Structure 1
Amino acid sequence: MKNVFLIGTGLIGGSMLLDLREHFKDAVFYGVDQNESHAKRAVENGIVDQVASIKDVVNADLVLISVPVDAALEVLPQVLDLVPEQALVMDVGSTKEAICKTVENHKNRRQFLAAHPIAGTEFSGPDAAIKSLFNDKTMIVCEVEKTAFKLQETAKQLFDLLGMRVRYMTPAAHDRHIAFVSHLSHISSFMLGKTVIQEEESERDIFDLAGSGFESTVRLAKSSPAMWTPIFAQNKKHVLDSLDGYIENLVRFRESVNTNNYKAIYDDMEQTNRIKTILKGIQNGK
């Protein structure tokens, strides 16, 4: 692998390159970004060697597309139009149905792998990129059968180097499941943060009284609106389904408080405690 291109020099793509650079020391890493300061910062941070343009992917062996999901719908077809026939093109967006639909009939569809790493932080931009972000994390791959077998092997080798386990799903299944386990948690965090800001007039009170529970719950509210708004738009149907279920539970909880039905509150919390076992299994790689 000689020429690696990263389109969108932020947290996910930047973290990937920081790790891959350790394994492809003879390769040249290029950064493409509409934000010139981000591209320059990616060079300064050692994520990429040079700033490039999208037209330069004619020389690519690997192209990682790590831009907001609405932008990816425009960028991916452009990249597939330009790349040489041996190149692997992969996106890492948080929604999969729309992007797979966009290139389903593209002449170079077999060079594309639809992927989503289940990893990240609340921070964004090239300064947020960190090494070993993906170690022991899951990479979701969709429509793998539509990617050329040789390029499937290349991608699997990359995932192994990153220390990731791979799970295969359909785009529809991915978008539904991710709405509940990822997108809903971001919405909850944003709206909790908004509610506290609305109701607590003094920022000092928030600072002094907020404990670790509040801080961990609103951590995701620090995430980029520019990245998350398109995700909610593209996954609208499943996001609405997840919100309906969440709101139903909140309304029931409120009614239990209002009617002094604390047994119902206790029972709901006790049943939900099972999440500890589920998450422990995930942490243990089960």
Structure 2
Amino acid sequence: MNLKLPANYLSRFSSTELAASTDAGFGVRYFPLPFGTDWRVSVVRNEKYVEYNLSTRLNDTTYAAGIYNNGYTAEAGVPTAQVTHDPYRGLQYGALLRGGGASSRVTAGYALTALDNRVRVLNNVGVAVQGDVTAPYTQSEAGGSVSQALTPQASVRLGASARLFTFPVQGQAQGSVDLNPGLDLNPAPGVNVSVSHLERQAVGSVPVGDLNYGDYRETSASAAYRLSAPVGSPQFGVAMLRSSLTRSWTGETTALRGDVLLRAGDLPSLLGPSIGYQWGKTPESGRWLLSLTFAPR
């Protein structure tokens, strides 16, 4: 019996994570199953528990169930069941049920768009529960982005969003604003350089930690070089080199990644290993970053 893989199967590996450290555990996350519907499975061994879960996204709806990560040294993972329907526009609803002290919530609302879908406005109502806290809340959010070419080799972009959470029972509220400028350069044939920054400022407080959009600052840069011809042979060889650097100023972490992407036969995508390292606040908090990576052929 021949197994016929979906046409886009290999591209699904772009979000697969290989875990191999005493921080991230040992195993694989979001491994795609060879079905028409994009089901993902995770199995990772941590120090005292195994996380295992199954998830998919179908018709603008996310389905997920299983035991999720709670940190490498925790006593147990987080039991989770989720159904979330969140199209770019239209009716929104969802339920997230979790154990292990994590928060759960149910939501309903509506999203609309403006300016040729470049701006999205979301309004939700919901109830969040964590421990002995039950918090009805409202969520209002608006966001969009614009881009502008400066020259044939350079362009700039800016994303912005604003959100407001209110918790009438607790008498609390939090507002936040995100700004996300970016610069894209193509200084030479096959070369692409991208730089971006995320700045979030918030005021107020929330009674449930998972709904806290607090101050955050992060800068990232990436560079890629696509070779005019694969190194090796036309059927199998190195076709692209890529690296990225991300600094979380708020979390005090720095991550450096290097990707080697190969052209292999008639595969529709370039693929290869991604190896990196993340430095934390202390030498002990550093960890390796291992995954498969993909790019359009």
TM-score normalized with structure 2 length = 0.24
Q: Which has the higher helix share?
A: 1
TM-score normalized with structure 1 length = 0.24
Query: Which structure has the higher relative contact order (CA within 8 Å, separation 6+)?
Result: 1
